[in-house]
Amino acid sequence: MSSVAVVTGASAGVGRATARELARGGTRVALLARGSVGLAAAAREIRAAGGTALPIETDMADHAQVEAAAERVTAELGDIDLWINGAFTSVFAPFVEIDPAEFRRVTEVTYLGYVHGTRVALDRMLPRDRGTIVQVGSALAYRSIPLQSAYCGAKHAIVGFTESLRCELLHSRSRVRVTMVHLPAVNTPQFDWVLSRLDRHPQPVPPIYQPEVAARAIVYAASRPGRREYWIGASTVATILANRIAPALLDRYLGRTGYRSQQADWPADPHRPENLWHPADGTGGVDFGAHGSFDGRAHRHSPQAWMSRHRRSLTAGAVALVAGTAAVGAALGRR
């Protein structure tokens, strides 16, 4: 029997690409998101490819809705083996221009949505003593940038929550595993529908990657949940390391460059949709798909992601190279 996975935020972007990647491997996938139009389109894609999809309209900020969705998944697809938390929303604006209600909404979806998803997954996995939970994180979980205070705060909170939970699972010797996958900038529709108060169209900070790069990494991490986290994209690793080495310098650098690097060359459309309170791909909306507006600039592959997947063999090769070099040096030294 094929396994059962739940993907939140599955109507678009990374979530949609991840659902397709899982379905290609034979996994039965439950798609959770608010947008009915996007969910229906994602389900059609999976079914057209011969897979099984169960779309469920769910607001991850509402624990009762998440619980009801999990009940339906179990009843219609079977026991949940994998739960991937990826749903989020955001506001692009300086902190003082974000209303308290907007900040709260971002936190409820982007942070508490992960908490709710993790809880309902554990309620079903712990009695069976098996299952995997993947938290889709970001480089911004370790290094905040301007104009995204609510999103960055939520991503930082996810790391703190997950690390605490992991310790508790280890204490109880549970075989349920939790891992995090921290992504770089990705070409998703969020930049076409995020609530923005910027003068120009928002954009991901280059370098930009296609959502399929993230999806492959997430599915790989789900199949090998022993590692506590995966960092995808050289920019993610460089950003996190730079923050650990010289955070004050990075503050100043981002203060100078962070506004411009998050805005495209064209002005913002005053009539653009926004999905903070209502899904842009809901009833009366359109299907945004997995990709955003930056296909011409987005990378389809990440060398760092490949290295992350092959870290063990690369480490073994490096050790062998060092050992071989040392042996040659020793032999030459004896001459």
Q: Give every CB contact of residue 327 below 8 A, 6+ residues apart in sequence.
A: none
Is 83's pLDDT higher than 80? yes
Q: Give every CB contact of residue 232 below 8 A, 6+ residues apart in sequence.
A: 181, 182, 183, 184, 209, 213, 214, 217, 302, 304, 305, 308
Among the listed residues 151, 209, 220, 259, the single catalytic one is 151
Q: CATH topology for 4-301?
A: Rossmann fold (3.40.50)
Is 35's pLDDT higher than 80? yes
CB 73 within 8 A of CB 125: no
- Element holding 222 (H helix, E strand): helix 211-223
Is 180's pLDDT higher than 50? yes
Distances (CA, A) of 203 to 68, 133, 193, 208, 214: 35, 29, 11, 9, 17
Pairing of β 132-138 and β 177-183: parallel
pTM of the model: 0.90
Cα–Cα dist 325/335, whole Å: 16
Q: Which sequence spans correspond to the domains of the chain?
A: 4-301
CB 110 within 8 A of CB 34: no
Is 304's pLDDT higher than 80? no
Distances (CA, A) of 58 to 9, 10, 75, 210, 231: 9, 10, 16, 25, 28
Give catalytic status of residue 220 as yes or no.
Answer: no
Give mean pLDDT, residues 155-168. 98
Give mean pLDDT, residues 308-324. 49
The per-residue pLDDT for 72 is 98
Is 333's pLDDT higher than 50? no
